[in-house]
Structure 1
Amino acid sequence: MRLAYADTARTDLLTPQPDSRGRWRFWATAYTLLILLTGTNLPTPLYRDYEQRFGFSPLVVTLIFAVYVAVLIPSLLVAGPLSDAIGRRRVLLPATALAVLGALGFALATNVVWLFAARIVQGIALGAASGALTAALAELEPTGNRRRAALVSTVASAGGLGAGPLLGGVLAQYLPAPHVVPFVVEIALLVPAAFIIATTPETRPNVRWRPRRPSIPAGMGPIFAFSGTVTFLGFAVVGVFLTLIPTYVTSLSRSHNLAVAGAAVALLLACSALTQLAGYGKPARTLELSGLPLLAGGLVLLAIAGQISSLAMLLAATVAAGAGHGSVFLGGLTAINHAAPVDRHAEVVSTFYVIAYLGVGLPVIGVGFLATAAGLLTAVQWFSAVVAMSCAGMLIVLVRRGQRAEPSVPHP
């Protein structure tokens, strides 16, 4: 009887048993990721106002965004392996406190130095949290389904990226103190996130921490080479939308409504999130095959929209590019999540996010320089042409490689 009981208990431990508490922790962790990303993108529709208020150029806007990425990446590389070793909570609670501090920096900003400082703090916070939260979602998924965890992670990420500009634009446009209220709301939303982190049990493996350079476990090189590249291209588009497209939209629409500027960026990320939901259960290769043409097509439409001053075509470009981003991002993270070793999961995800955030931060600097020298329209058109051709090249590579060996996972 004792042996039979032991066998039964062991089977129960090996087979994930979903319960209400487990589901609550999983979705609460997704909320935390969503809110952290929302906060980092609240300033997006306000940058044009900041330009006029503090007197700086579009290049400075891209540098404010780039410095955020510059600190985010080292934070990812340190905090990802650290959370594998000491536990998610010990990394995530300080990260949440830093997110509050970053929001305060924006609320109190009186010059451009405050903006740089606030973005630096936000970058450290999100870098510390991204890998740990993504790994925690995979560990807390009630049925052990890593593909579903990847979907929730990417949808929460895209949702936060899109909700930030929309929420920031609406609050700034229709409530008093437009440069303060959005960040007070963000701080209020971070309070339950901190409670969630504090009450979630640790799920860490027992591994030793040491600072690491970006690294790829043996056997994952081909996955990182391809999926990382297409993810880089997808996030390059997101970076330009987050920094310069609000100004592009106001020029085409001849409207200075902050909600409209934020809504254009939100539309991109909403389409990304919806595409990820529609693509759930599909192999990574299928997602990338559909995402690359959509991304390239959206960029072509974006360039044409500026040339003919068509707001309708700009919206069509946004929908196509958002759908393309969602497909390539979900495909890449699904492949990475599936192949990552358990004891290095947060580290591997953090390295993947390094590639994504390099896509957000590096190309936009070049676009900012070009916009300052030749004008925003020319800069966006050149960017669109280069990235669209790169997407076409990666699509050719993917087709020639043939079908990737990957287990088929049915829809739930």
Structure 2
Amino acid sequence: MTLTSSTSRTGLRFWLTAYTLLILLTGTNLPTPLYRGYAERFGFSPLMVTVIFAAYIAALIPSLLIAGPLSDAVGRRRVLIPAVGIAALGLVAFALADGTGWLFAARILQGLALGAASGPLTAALVELEPSGNQRKAALVATAASIGGLGLGPLLAGALAQLAPAPFVLPFVVELVLLIPAVFAIFGLPRAATTTRWRPRRPQIPPQMRAVFAVSGTASFLAFSVIGLFLALLPAYVTLLSGSTNLLLGGALVALMLLCSVLAQICGYGRSAYLLSRTGLPALALGLALLAVAGELSSLPLVVTASVIGGIGHGLVFLGGLTAVNEAAPADRRAESVSSFYVIIYCGVGIPVIGLGVLAANIGLITAVRDFALVVAALSVGMLVALIRTRRRTAGSATSHQESVSEEG
């Protein structure tokens, strides 16, 4: 009876921790369908939108590198409680925003909060999974992360379109949704011991650098598409359709990310090579369709591109993470995965600045077309590199096996 009760409590903590990760990601992506409205209110260009978006990534990456090891040393609670407090401050800053400076401050606060929380929450999911199933914990963490990316634009778009105070209400609702997250964090086990912490930059073990290079580059490309969708897709859809419906742009971002989650669930347990080999051409096709959609002003093509691109993103992401997990030495897995996530967040934040510069000079539709075609071509190039690396590895393994047989 006591054992069953303990397992039940651990299961509840597990799902509340997943909820916390989901809601934090939801909050950081509430501004996505609102950027066009902010641009009209405060008088800035798509380039400024991408710079504001990148400020979030610039704050997130160092926070991620510092807070993960810190939580290992001092315990999850001590890092997560201030992280949720900082996230709440970011929401308040958005709700009170009356100028561009407020948007920068809010995004920086959100980046610090998510960077501090994502590593400890992911680790807590592994520690709290009742049966010790690390694959299940990893899948739940991935689904919660990508699900939050999609839920944020959908929730904000719906509230902004259908309810009053479009630039205030979404953030107030998110503050309310954070309340259970606070209780979830206080319900986490206390750290049994604390150790001395010192910052250290992540490094890639030499034996996995080739795998990391291929998987990291492919995932960088996949997440550059996420940056495009989160920062500029709602404005792009408005130009194509002529509709000012804020829900439409948010719904298409959510659709893309929902397809990514479903692709990861369906691809779970498959080999890293198969996932990436299937995902890269899907990603390229989705981007090509997005480029054509701009030329034809076709909203149905944007929907199709969102679905196919989302599937490609999900498979490439899962394939890259699986490859890194498999190749990393057991005693350096967390360090290797942290480095992988840094590459991902760079993919979200850096290319979109170039897209913003292009949009300011040649127009948003043309810029999205050119960006999509370049990333599609690079995705095809990565597919070729992946296949060649696989054949080279297989050939080396065969030669080694033949040599051993001859010696025997």
With the length of structure 1 as denominator, give the TM-score of the two structures.
0.90
- From 111, 122, 130, give the equivalent of 1:134: 122
1:208-247 correspondence to structure 2 within 5 Å: 208-217=196-205, 219-247=207-235
Unmatched runs of 5 consecutive residues or more in structure 2: 395-408
Evaluate the alpha carbon distance shift between residue 380 and residue 266 of structure 1 in structure 2; reply closer, same or farther with a 3 A threshold. same
Q: Deviations over 1:135-172 (max 9, x none)?
A: 22222222323222221111111100000000000011
Instruction: Confirm or deny that 1:272 pairs with 2:291.
Output: no
Of residues 119-128 and 83-92 in structure 1, the stretch that sits farther from structure 2 once superposed is: 83-92
For the residue of structure 1 that corresponds to 2:200, the secondary structure is: coil
**Retained in 1: the 8 A contact 2:74–2:191?**
no
- Matching residue of 1:74: 62
Instruction: Report the count of equivalent residues.
Output: 390
1:246-265 correspondence to structure 2 within 5 Å: 246-265=234-253
2:374 is matched by which residue type in structure 1? V
- Matching residue of 1:102: 90
Give the root-mean-square deviation of aligned CA atoms: 2.1
- Matching residue of 1:321: 309
- From 153, 157, 165, give the equivalent of 1:177: 165
Aligned partners of 2:331 and 2:194: how far apart in 1?
8
Evaluate the alpha carbon distance shift between residue 398 and residue 301 of structure 1 in structure 2; reply closer, same or farther with a 3 A threshold. same
- Matching residue of 2:103: 115
Unmatched runs of 5 consecutive residues or more in structure 1: 1-11, 406-412
**Structure 1 position 131, deviation (Å):** 1.6
Evaluate the alpha carbon distance shift between residue 36 and residue 319 of structure 1 in structure 2; reply closer, same or farther with a 3 A threshold. same
With the length of structure 2 as denominator, give the TM-score of the two structures.
0.91
**Structure 1 position 344, deviation (Å):** 5.2
**Retained in 2: the 8 A contact 1:166–1:266?**
yes
Aligned partners of 1:369 and 1:346: how far apart in 2?
36
- From 28, 34, 46, give the equivalent of 1:58: 46
**Structure 1 position 333, deviation (Å):** 2.2
**Retained in 2: the 8 A contact 1:66–1:365?**
yes
Provide the identity percentage. Answer: 63
Aligned partners of 2:56 and 2:348: how far apart in 1?
10
**Structure 1 position 367, deviation (Å):** 0.3
Aligned partners of 1:273 and 1:345: how far apart in 2?
23
- From 80, 97, 104, give the equivalent of 1:92: 80
1:325-340 correspondence to structure 2 within 5 Å: 325-340=313-328
- From 11, 22, 26, give the equivalent of 2:10: 22
Aligned partners of 1:30 and 1:373: how far apart in 2?
42
Instruction: Confirm or deny that 1:372 pairs with 2:360.
Output: yes
- From 21, 33, 36, give the equivalent of 1:33: 21
**Retained in 2: the 8 A contact 1:38–1:163?**
yes
**Retained in 1: the 8 A contact 2:59–2:112?**
yes
**Retained in 2: the 8 A contact 1:163–1:266?**
yes
- Matching residue of 2:133: 145
**Retained in 2: the 8 A contact 1:292–1:328?**
yes
Of residues 327-336 and 306-315 in structure 1, the stretch that sits farther from structure 2 once superposed is: 327-336
Q: Deviations over 1:357-398 (max 9, x none)?
A: 100000000000000000011111111111111111111121
Aligned partners of 1:384 and 1:18: how far apart in 2?
51
1:93 is matched by which residue type in structure 2? I
Aligned partners of 2:328 and 2:117: how far apart in 1?
18
Aligned partners of 1:342 and 1:130: how far apart in 2?
21
